[in-house]
Structures are given as C-alpha cells and as structure tokens.
Amino acid sequence: MKETLVLYPFPGMGHLVSMVELGKLFLTHGFAVAVITVSATYTTGAASSTETFITRMSSAHPFLSFHRLPSVSLPPNASPHHEAHAFDLLRLSNPHLLSLLSSLSQSSPVRALIVDFFCTIALDVAAELAIPSYIFFTSSAAILAAFLHLPALHSKVTTSFKDLGDSPLHFPGLPPIPARDMLLPMLDRDDEAYKGFIAIFNRMPDADGIIAIAGGLAVPGKKAPPVHCVGPLTAIQPKLRHDCLDWLDKQPKQSVVFLCFGSLGAFSAKQLHEIAIGLEKSQQKFLWVVRSPPNPVPSLAPGGGESAKLTEAPPEPELEALLPEGFLDRTGERGMVVKSWAPQAEVLRHGAVGGFVTHCGWNSVLEAIVGGVAMVAWPLYAEQRMNKVMLVEMGLAVEMRGYESGAVEAREVAERVKGVVEGEWGREVRGRMELLRLAAEAALADGGSSSVAVNDLVSIWKAGRR
C-alpha cells in the first residue's frame, strides 16, 4: 500500500499550482499525494480555472487526489485585508482538517503534512495526530529570511510600518527594505492581518522542516528548522492551446511585452485607460491580460459570512467599454488583449516575449526567470513590494513609477514598455536572466540541488524519521 503525503495549500491559483508541482515531485517516488483545500478560493476571474486545473490534474495523475473541506461560518472581522479573513477561515477549518486527515490515515499511512506557510495553524492538527509537519514556502529565500526575523523586529519596534515611511528596516543578509514596502497587510500593527502574520512567523520554526528555495536561515532566539531547497517549480497548465500562443508565433523574437498581474490583480477603469494609452504611445507589440475592475466583495465586509462566498469571480471584462474608444482597432495589428486569464507560464517561455510587466508574485518571477524575460515591477498586494525591492537590487527589474499611489501615468507605461523591449537595459537583463535560467535547469537536473533535496526528504519519510 502506498503511503500518503498530504498537501494543504492556501486558496488561490498561485499557491495551489506550485503546491501541486511540489506534490508531483514525490509521486515519482512511490507516494500517493492528497491535496486538501479549504472551501473557498480567492482566485478572481479564475474560479473556473481552479476547477479545470483540479479536474485535469487528478485525471492525469492517478495517485494525486483532491479533497475539499466543508465550508465554515466566518466571524465578524474588521480588517480590510482578505488575509485576516483567511486566517479565520483556516483556524475554523482545523477541526474539519483533523477529521479528514484521520479518515485518510485509516486507508493509507500519512507520512507528512505539508502546509502552505499561510496555513501554519494546521501544525496544531499535525501535532494532535503525531504526523510530521512541513511548511512549504511559496515566495523567495529573501522573503522567508525576513519573515522569520519579523517577530524579533515586532518586539523592538512600536510604530506601525506605515508610519515609518522610507525608514530602512534591516534583516540579516538582506538589503535594507523601506518600511512602506513591507507586506501590505502588515503595514498597520493594530490590524488583525498583522497579528495573524506575526502568529504565523512565530510558529513557523515549530515545523519539522521548511520546503523552500532557500538555505542558511537564522531565526532570532529559536532553533531554525532544516530548510529543504526545491525548485524552481513552474507549471505548464494542461489546457487547450490558447489563441494568444498562435498570435505570438507570428511575432519576431523578443519583440512583445506581456502584461499580467497574477491571479488577483485587477485595476480601476481609470488605471486600465491609462495603461491602454501608454501601450498605444509606446508603439510596442504587447499581449495584455485585462480583468474587470475590482468590486467590493460583500462577504469580505466586516460582517463576515459563509466562507464559500469568498469566491466572487468578477464578470468577464467588457473591453470596448473599459478601454479607450477605438483602442482595439488602432492597436489590433501589433497588440492582443486577452480577457481575464492567459497561459502565463507558456507565454513567458515563448521566444517572442522579451519583457514582462508583472505584479511580482513569486511564481510569476520564477516563470519570468525560466523564460529569460526582463521585468517591469508593478507590485500590487501581499509581499510583492518586498519582492520588487530584491528584484531591482539584483538588476532583474525596473520599477513602474507611481505604483505606490495606485496611479501610474500613461507616459510612464509607454517609457517602461519601450525600455524593457527595445532598450539597452532590457537586453542586459535578458542576458542576466539567461544565466539564472541555466542555474535553474541545473538545480532541477538529476544530481542538481533540487533533486538532492527531494531525495533527502523521501529518505527521511520512508525511514519514518522527521
């Protein structure tokens, strides 16, 4: 009988996809992999993509199964940040997780519970069932180092990061990070989301290990758990070929800039307008994923609600109404607008793409590296501002000025888009990216660092160790 590894991702395509990629690494080592998701997803515009992804993955891999926990009623929570509501959702889902894990372990021994770092509260469940627990960290090594250090910083600083402006925060081994660029839901220390994150970072060292793309971490005042460095994990999603790939086939090498902002990124109608004018001015070839502007989601209001209602997929965007009059006709020769969702990982690997305007979600960054594409950083939510600081520091991205105020002007879009595809800077970055791409390939090859880390974990679990 196969032993089972249980994965517990945070809701949202970015987290789900990379966790499933992790699981696939272990399928080839004789484990069955069960993925347990809470009852809601936050994947705007992509709820159906999530379902399609799950259906296809489970039919492609007989030993990969998906299980959804029952929905729970969320208590009132005044935080404007969806993470605070997610923390409630995860806490209240623990009893359901406990009973599902208990029933799964009756049919096959559960060798480890691997939880997304957001779901660290599930370590309580693993402890109760005496199952080894691991945290899967879906962002960069630098961010992991900063997060593990944050409880120590929290106890020293008494002011909210939002009130510290540009003051540099110091984390061991990292360049200084301006306080205003900290994780968005952590800017206000009185917010429930801030408290939730500090609780997570405090708890992370209690896991039996962290699976990440990182090494050599220090946790002030605590023993750091072993860090198993896998990846980079990027996924080509098994889908029908998208029209935009046919369009890219017809474009010259590295001539197209791709604009796409993660599974949640959406702009106001005014900002969409401004981007459109900028793209038109730039005279560059572009492929742009456009979403409907965000609507306030009723169930995220302070009153709380059923967790299942957290999924409010916005309607498909009405391009003619959202974009400047005649834009689609005028740019039709050299640009393509895709509604809501494009097969990003494939797009970024396509030779016609030379630049990427990105929200700096970590999967997107890894996919850009694997594709050897230069980036323009337009961080929107979560830890993306911190990622931007690192990417700019490493010379892999330039910043889209004006992102902080949420009002990027058309001429800035035009300048950046032109620079990333045509400019000297763009060419240099693609050169640096090529070296990183080769390093990524080497890590994933037989005997590379990722394969070694996977083999180590497999031997630990097969020997029944932690």
R_g (Cα) of the chain, nearest Å: 22
* Least distance from ligand UDP to the Cβ atom of residue 16, Å: 9
Closest Cα partner for 324 from 311, 313, 335, 312? 335
Q: Name which position in 71, 93, 263, 292 contacts ligand UDP (CB under 6 A).
A: 263
Beta-carbon contacts of residue 296 (< 8 Å; ≥ 6 apart): none
Phi/psi region, residue 180 (left: phi>0; alpha: psi -120 to 50; beta: rest), is alpha
Q: Which two tokens stand for residue 143?
A: 């961010």
Give CA–CA dist 312/293, Å, rounded: 13
CB nearer ligand UDP, residue 6 or residue 259: 259
Give CA–CA dist 313/265, Å, rounded: 12
CB nearer ligand UDP, residue 289 or residue 429: 289
* Least distance from ligand UDP to the Cβ atom of residue 375, Å: 12
Q: Is 342 in the site for ligand UDP (CB under 6 A)?
A: yes
What are 314's strand-pairing partners?
A: none
Per-position DSSP letters for 74-130, written without gaps between them: PPP---SSHHHHHHHHHHHHHHHHHHHHHHHHHHS-EEEEEEEGGGGGGHHHHHHHT
Q: Which two tokens stand for residue 220?
A: 């002030």
**CB 47, CB 341: distance < 8 Å:** no
* Least distance from ligand UDP to the Cβ atom of residue 350, Å: 13
DSSP element (H, E) containing 201: helix 192-203
Q: How many residues does the chain have?
A: 466
Q: Name which position in 5, 8, 11, 14 contacts ligand UDP (CB under 6 A).
A: 14
The residue count for binding ligand UDP (CB under 6 A) is 19
CB nearer ligand UDP, residue 35 or residue 104: 35
CB nearer ligand UDP, residue 15 or residue 111: 15
Q: Name which position in 345, 369, 389, 417 contacts ligand UDP (CB under 6 A).
A: 345
Q: Is 183 in the site for ligand UDP (CB under 6 A)?
A: no
CB nearer ligand UDP, residue 14 or residue 419: 14
Q: Which of 15, 81, 82, 350 is catalytic?
A: 15
Closest Cα partner for 118 from 220, 15, 40? 15
Q: Is 15 a catalytic residue?
A: yes
Q: Name which position in 341, 356, 378, 461 contacts ligand UDP (CB under 6 A).
A: 341
Q: Is 262 in the site for ligand UDP (CB under 6 A)?
A: yes
Q: Is 186 in the site for ligand UDP (CB under 6 A)?
A: no
φ, ψ (nearest 5 deg) of residue 448: -75, 170
Closest Cα partner for 117 from 143, 93, 141, 136? 136
Q: Is 362 in the site for ligand UDP (CB under 6 A)?
A: yes
Q: Is 390 in the site for ligand UDP (CB under 6 A)?
A: no
Helix (H) and strand (E) counts in the chain: 16, 15
CB nearer ligand UDP, residue 84 or residue 345: 345
Q: Which of 82, 85, 96, 116 is catalytic?
A: 116
Q: Name which position in 7, 13, 72, 248 contacts ligand UDP (CB under 6 A).
A: 13
Give CA–CA dist 383/388, Å, rounded: 9
CB nearer ligand UDP, residue 125 or residue 382: 382
Give CA–CA dist 3/461, Å, rounded: 9
Give CA–CA dist 385/382, Å, rounded: 8
Q: Is 264 in the site for ligand UDP (CB under 6 A)?
A: yes
Give CA–CA dist 115/123, Å, rounded: 8
CB nearer ligand UDP, residue 12 or residue 209: 12
Q: Name which position in 9, 11, 12, 225 contacts ligand UDP (CB under 6 A).
A: 12
Q: Is 232 in the site for ligand UDP (CB under 6 A)?
A: no
Among the residue ranges 22-30, 119-127, 188-196, 363-371, the one whose residues contact ligand UDP (CB under 6 A): 363-371
Q: Is 350 a catalytic residue?
A: no
* Least distance from ligand UDP to the Cβ atom of residue 265, Å: 7
Q: Name which position in 177, 260, 272, 336 contacts ligand UDP (CB under 6 A).
A: 260
Give CA–CA dist 350/422, Å, rounded: 17
Among the residue ranges 7-15, 27-35, 53-61, 155-163, the one whose residues contact ligand UDP (CB under 6 A): 7-15
Helix axes 410-422, 269-282, angle to 10 degrees: 50
Binding mask 267-306 for ligand UDP (x = CB under 6 A): ----------------------x-----------------
Binding mask 105-144 for ligand UDP (x = CB under 6 A): ----------------------------------------
CB nearer ligand UDP, residue 31 or residue 286: 286
* Least distance from ligand UDP to the Cβ atom of residue 150, Å: 20
Give CA–CA dist 49/435, Å, rounded: 33
Binding site for ligand UDP (CB under 6 A): 12-14, 17, 260, 262-264, 289, 341-345, 361-364, 367
Q: Give the residue numbers annotated as catalytic, written as ranges.
A: 15, 116
